[in-house]
A and B are shown apart, each in its own frame.
Chain A
Amino acid sequence: MSSFPAFNPADFPGEITLDYVIPEAKATFGRLPADLQPELASALARRGIDRLYSHQADSYDAVRRGRHLVVVTPTASGKTLCYNLPVLQRLLEEPEKRALYVYPTKALAQDQLAELSALKHGLPIEIRVDTYDGDTPPGRRTAIREGGHVVMTNPDMLHAGMLPHHTRWRRLFSSLEFVVIDELHTYRGLFGSQVANVIRRLKRICAFYGSSPTFICASATIANPLELAKRLLEEDNVQLVDRSGAPRGERRLVFYNPPLVNREMGVRRSSMLEARRIAAPWIRDGVQTIVFCRSRLQVEVMLSYLRQDLAPRLDASRRVRGYRAGYLPLHRREIEAGLRSGDITGVVSTNALELGIDIGTLQTAVLVGYPGTIASTWQQLGRAGRRSGSVGVFVASSSPLDQFMVRHPEYFLSADPEEGLIDPDNLSLLAGHLQAGLFELPFEDAERLGRADVRELLQLFEEDGSATRSAGRWFWSRQAFPAEELHLRRIAADNVVIIDTSHPRPQVIGEMDQFTAPVLLHEEAVYLHEGAQFHVDRLDWDEKKAYVRPVEVDYYTDALASVAVQVLDTFAGPDGDTLSCSHGELKITSLASMFKKIKFHTHENIGSGPIHLPEQTLHTTGYWITVDDDVWRSLGRETLDHPTKSGNFAGAPGMEAGLQGMAHSLRHVASLHLMCDPRDLGSVAEVRSVTTRLPTVTVYEVYPGGVGFSSRMYELHRELLDDAAALVRECPCLAGCPSCVGPLHLVEGAKGACLKLLSASALPV
C-alpha cells in the first residue's frame, strides 16, 4: 500500500463505503503468430514486444480466419495491437490494401496516429497513416484520399465528409480490407443508432466498389458486447475475444459519500468541495491528477477552485487545465501535450478524456459524481495509473443514482449489468440516413438499407419529391445535401456560436447546441469558459449567436425549464394493473422560463430573472405508468388521516409530491439499467394527464423518435419499480430529499407517499 499516493480516510468526515485494492494480475502470453512477416516481428521487438498477450494472439487468429471481431478487455491491456497487428501484416502482404479506423473523437484518432506511426517505423514499405477529420488541412486531403493506407477518422466525418463524396475516395473504398471500430461501447443509444446507420451506408459504398471489409471492434467492458457488435454491424459471423492476458498493477478504489449536513433534508456536503479537498493536496505535491466532472459548468467551477488552492504559485493556471468538448482543437492538442510532458499536473475534464487517450503518467483520478455508467466509471478510474499503483476516488453527489451506487458498491464490483442498446430502425433516423444513402448511391427496387426494409419510405420520398424512380432504381432528387442536415450526436441542426465582443475584433470562443443553449446562454447568464466568466449580453436566437463579454462576479447562473407531455400513440399497454404501464409516442414541450443567480461557495440564491426564448418541441417515445384512481384516492385519504408532526395535514400536496418523487426515482434507476446518462431521459409527473385522465408518471427519451429505451423500460417495469422503491427506502433522509424523491424536500409526506405509490402494485385493484 505504501506505493500509493497518500489518501487517509480518517482525514475526511464522510463515509467510506468502499476501500478496495484490486490485486495485481499476472500476464498470460501467446506466441507471436508463425506467419508474421519478419520485419513486423522485428518492429515489435524494437518496441520491446517479443510475445503477445493471449487476447492479442486470439484476435490475430480470428481476423486471419476472416471473422469479424469484437475485443473486450480493460483499459491499458494493449487493445490497439489486437487490430494493428493483423492490419499491418495484411498491408505488408498486399500494399494495395486499405484500412479505415473509426474513433469516436478526433483527439483519440490523433493519439492512435502517433501510436501506429511509432509501430510502423522500420517496416520495408512506406505505410501511409493519416487522420482525416475537420482539422485536416485542405492541401493534404487529396494526398490522403489517394495514398493513405490507414485513414483514421470519426463517424461524423465518415458520415458527412467521406461517404457523400465517395467517388473521391474510390481508391480507399475499392481496396478496403479492414474497418476498425474502437470504443464500441460509446456507440449506444442515439449515437450508436446513428452510427449503425452510417455503417449500413459504408457497407453499401464498399459493395459498389466491390470490397467487403472485415470489421474489428474494440470495447470497454459492458454486458452485451457481442450483441451490440452484431446489431451495429448487422453481421452474424462475429467472434468475441473477452479474456484479457494483460497484467494489471495494484489499484486502490475508494467510494466516498460526503457527510450529511442536514439529515432531515438529506443534504450532503457538496461533492465538488469534497473532491477539491481530495485533489488539491495531490496536485500541490506534484502527483498528476485528473478530476472528472459531470458538466461543462462543473469543470469551470472546479478549475477555479483548484487554481485558488495552488494560488501562491504563479503558474497555477498553467499547471491546472480544463479540458472539454467546447474547446477549439489547437487548444486541446496543447493540453494533451502538456499532460504527456508533465508540465501539467492537474486536469479537470468532462468525459472527453474518458476515452482511452494514453497520457501515461496520471497517478490519481477523482470522479465528482457517478459518470452514469459502470463502464464509464471503470474507464475514468482507469485513467490513473495504467501502469503503476494508483488511487481512484469516486465522490458521490446527492443525486439518486450516485446515492444508489455509493450505497451498493457490490453492484459495481460484482457484475456488469449494463447493456448497450441501439435502435437503428428508429424511423426518423432511418429516414434521415436513407436520404443520405440515396444521395450517395441510387437504391435498387428491392434493396434494403442494412436489414431495414425501406420500400415504403422510398415511396414516401417519391411523393414528397425527394426521390425519383428511373430504370428500376430510386434516385435522390432534391438540391439539398442530406448528410449536412443530419448530425450524429444531436438532433438540433444549428449550433449557437458564442462571440466575445470585448476585443476590437469580436472573437468566436466556442459553440453550443440548440437544446442546451436556452439553459446556458440565455441573456444575463454567466457563461464559464476555461475558468473565465462571461456575461451574455445578447442572445440572437434567429441568428444563433450569443454575444458575451468577460466579467468577474461572485455568482453563477442556473436555469429552470418546464416540461409538458402529450401522448400521440400507444404501442403497448395499459396492462390494467394497479400501476399500469404503457409505452408509445409522445410530444414533449419544454420551455426555459427563468434563471437563478447562485453565489459561489455558499451556493445561496441571490437573484433571479425571466428567460424569453421559444419553446422547444420534442417528438419522441416514452414509457408511462398510470395509478389506478381508487388506489390513488385511498392512498390520498390515508395520507390525510395521518397528521404530520407539524400538525398540518399533508393531503393532495403530499400525494402530488409523491408522484413527482416516483417520476424522479424511476428516471434515475432506469438510466442505470439502460446504460444511459440520466439526462438522456426526462420524466414528468401529472396528477391528471390529458391523455390517460389518471395520475401519470412519464419517463421519456430526450432524442426525437427515441432509440429503443422505451420498449426496454416497458419490459423492465417490475425491476424499475423495485429498484426505485429500494432507492427511496434506503435513503437516510427523514422525509424525502433530492437524492431519492427529487427536489421536493419542502413538501412534507413526499417520501412516504412516494414509497406507497411505488409499492401500490401489491395492492388489489
Chain B
Amino acid sequence: MPEVTLRERLTRLGAPPRPRPEAPSELPRGFVEVPTRFGIAALRQDVIPLPPLEPSPGNVAYVDTETTGLTGGAGTYVFAAAVARPIDCGLRVAQLFLPQPGMEAAFLHLLREEIGAVEAIATFNGASFDLPVLRTRWVMARMPGELTESPHVDLLTLTRALYRHRLESCTLRMVEERVLGYERDDPIPSALVPDAYFGYLRAGSGELLEAALEHNRLDAISLVHLHSRLLLRLKGVETGMDAADWLALGRHRFRRGARADGWRALRNATTFGESEAAATAGLLISRRLVRRGSIAAADRLLRWLEWTAADDIRVALARARLLEWRRRDPQQALSVVEAAGHRMPDAAPDLEHRRARLRRKVELVGGRRRRKRHVREVQLEASIMDGLT
C-alpha cells in the first residue's frame, strides 16, 4: 500500500465520518418500479418494428447483461439485463436495471420471468460469461432453486465457427460491422461500463449510465439479427458464399455430426477452383473418401485438384501418398512428385526425400513382375464426383 494512502487513512480514521451522499432515488429514464414478491425491480420495455425473419429462429429470448467487472467472482454484479423476444407484431425489448446492489433478488426474479417461458435463450459468449455470472448472483441473493435452465445457444461459438476466417476478432462490434453490415455509433466503450454504474450509485443517473443502458439494449437487438443470419448460413441458402465460407460451414457441420450437410458444403467449396480453401475442402473430401475405401474416387478428385490448384504442394503430396501407399504405384507417384517439383521449384528440396525413396522403389519393382493386388473400390461417392468432373 503506498505510504500516503496509509497515512491518510490513519488520519481519516480518527476523524468523524463525512456525511454520506444520499442514495440516488431516481431511476434512469423510462424505467418503472415493478413490485415482485422479492421486492421492487426496475423495468423498461418497448416493442420495436422487426421485419419478418427468414428463417425464423422460433421462440427465443436474446439476452445480454452488463456487469460491474469482467473477472467474475462473488463481487461482480449484474446491473442491467436486456431481453429481446420476437413477437407477432415486432420485437419486444425488456430491460431490467438494478437500482441498488441490495435489490438483487427482485432483479433476478424478474429476469427469470422474462426468460422462463421460451424454447431457448441465446447470448453472445454467455456460456463462459453471462450465465456463470448470473448463476453466481442467484446464489448470492439466496434465491430458491436454480436459475432457468432453458436450452442455451451461444452465438459467439457459432460465429467463430462460421465467420472466424473473415474477421480479425469475433467481438460483437466487429460482427455487426462485417457480417450484419451496419456500424453502430457506440456511445460508450465497454471498459467504462462498470464505472457508469458506480457513478450512478454515487451521484444518480447521468449520460454515462444512459449510454451504458443503450449499449446493453442494442447488443440484445443485434443478437436477434445475428442469429437469423447465422441460421441462413447454417442452412446453406445464403447467397454470395465463397470457398472459405463453405469450408467453414462444412467443417462445422461435420463437427456437429451432420454428415450429409458437411459433404454438401465441402463439395460446394471445391467448386470455387483456384483457391486455397477450395483445395483444403477437396483434400478433406479425399481423406474421407480414402477412409471409406473409395480409392479410385479419391484419386480422381486429387487429379482434378492437381489441375485446379496446381501450385498447392499439399495436393501433390496427398496424391503421391495415395498412389504410393494405397494404389501401390510408385511409378506414377514418382511422376507426380517430379511434376510438382518442376511446377514448384521452391518446394523441390522438401520433396527430395520422397523422390529418392520412390526412385528406389521403382528400380526394385522394375526387376520383377508387379504383384497383382485387389484393391477394393467402392463407388459410394459417385454422386459427389458428378459435380466435379
Contacts and interface: CB of A to CB of B under 8 A. Distances in A.
Interface in B9-41: 9-10, 12-13, 17-18, 20, 23
B72 interface: yes
A475 B139 contact: no
A568 interface: yes
Interface stretch (A336-344, A457-465, A606-614, A733-741): A457-465
Contacts of A468: 100-101, 198, 201-202
Interface string A467-478: 011111101111
A440 B75 contact: yes
Interchain residue pairs A-B with the least CB separation, the first 8: A471-B102, A439-B75, A470-B102, A475-B101, A470-B100, A619-B3, A167-B136, A167-B139
Contacts of B71: 481, 484
A587 interface: yes
B73 A471 contact: no
Contacts of B103: 470-471
Contacts of B70: 479
A615 to B, nearest CB: 12
Contacts, number: 106
Nearest to A568: B7
B20 A469 contact: yes
B17 A465 contact: no
B74 A432 contact: no
Interface in B112-167: 135-136, 139-140
B195 interface: yes
A598 to B, nearest CB: 34
B74 A617 contact: no
Nearest to A472: B102
A439 B195 CA distance: 16
Nearest to B202: A465
Interface of B: 1-3, 6-7, 9-10, 12-13, 17-18, 20, 23, 68-75, 77, 100-103, 135-136, 139-140, 194-195, 198, 201-202
Contacts of B2: 617, 619
Contacts of B102: 442, 470-473, 475
A427 B77 CA distance: 27
B3 A477 contact: no
A704 B73 contact: no
Contact of A165 (B3, B6, B23, B72): B72
Nearest to B136: A167
A385 B82 CA distance: 67
* Residue among B9, B73, B135 facing the most chain A CB atoms (10 A cut-off): B73
Contacts of A438: 75
A431 interface: yes
Contacts of B3: 587, 617, 619
Contacts of A469: 20, 23
A457 B1 contact: no
Given A167-B136, A470-B23, 7 more contacts: A427-B9, A463-B17, A463-B18, A465-B198, A477-B68, A479-B194, A482-B75
Interface in A100-130: none
A481 B139 CA distance: 19
Interface string A152-174: 00000000000011111010000
A732 B101 CA distance: 69
Given A428-B6, A477-B68, A166 B74 contact: yes
B7 A619 contact: yes
Nearest to B201: A468
Interface in A558-576: 568-569
A367 to B, nearest CB: 36
A164 B75 contact: yes
Contact of A427 (B6, B72, B74): B6
A462 B21 CA distance: 10
Contact of A460 (B12, B135, B194, B202): B12
B103 to A, nearest CB: 7
Interface string A588-610: 00000000000000000000000
11 contacts: A164-B75, A165-B72, A440-B75, A456-B13, A471-B103, A478-B198, A479-B69, A479-B195, A481-B75, A491-B1, A617-B3
* Residue among A440, A463, A479 facing the most chain B CB atoms (10 A cut-off): A479
Interface of A: 164-168, 170, 427-428, 431-432, 438-442, 456-457, 459-460, 462-463, 465, 468-473, 475-482, 484, 491, 568-569, 585, 587, 617, 619, 704-705
Given A167-B140, A465-B198, A705-B6, A477 B73 contact: no
Contacts of B73: 164-165, 439-440, 481
Contacts of B77: 475
A480 B69 contact: yes
A704 B74 contact: no
A478 B199 CA distance: 10
A354 to B, nearest CB: 30
A724 to B, nearest CB: 30
Contact of A462 (B20, B74, B194): B20
B6 to A, nearest CB: 5
Contacts of A470: 23, 100-103
Contact of A164 (B13, B74, B101, B198): B74
Contact of B74 (A165, A479, A569): A165
B6 A619 contact: yes
A477 B20 contact: no
A459 B21 CA distance: 12
B100 A471 contact: yes
Contacts of B139: 167, 170
Contacts of A440: 73-75
Given A439-B73, A587-B3, A477 B201 contact: yes
Contacts of B136: 165, 167-168
A178 to B, nearest CB: 23
* Residue among B71, B75, B136 facing the most chain A CB atoms (10 A cut-off): B75
B1 A479 contact: no
Contacts of A472: 102
Nearest to A566: B3
Nearest to A442: B101
A478 B6 CA distance: 19
B75 A476 contact: yes
Given A165-B73, A167-B139, A428 B1 contact: yes
Contacts of B17: 456, 459, 463
Contacts of A705: 1, 6
A477 B200 CA distance: 11
Nearest to A484: B71
B74 A167 contact: yes
Contacts of A465: 198, 202
Given A170-B139, A468-B201, A705-B1, A481 B69 contact: yes
B134 to A, nearest CB: 11
A491 B70 CA distance: 25
Contacts of A704: 1, 6
B342 to A, nearest CB: 34
Nearest to B100: A470
B144 to A, nearest CB: 14
A459 B15 CA distance: 11
B74 A460 contact: no
A569 B202 contact: no
A58 B19 CA distance: 56
A102 to B, nearest CB: 20
Given A428-B1, A472-B102, A460 B198 contact: no
Contacts of A459: 17-18, 20
A749 to B, nearest CB: 38
B195 A432 contact: no
A432 B5 CA distance: 12
A413 B140 CA distance: 54
Contacts of B198: 465, 468, 477-479
* Residue among B10, B74, B135 facing the most chain A CB atoms (10 A cut-off): B74
Contacts of B6: 427-428, 619, 704-705
Contacts of A475: 77, 101-102
B270 to A, nearest CB: 37
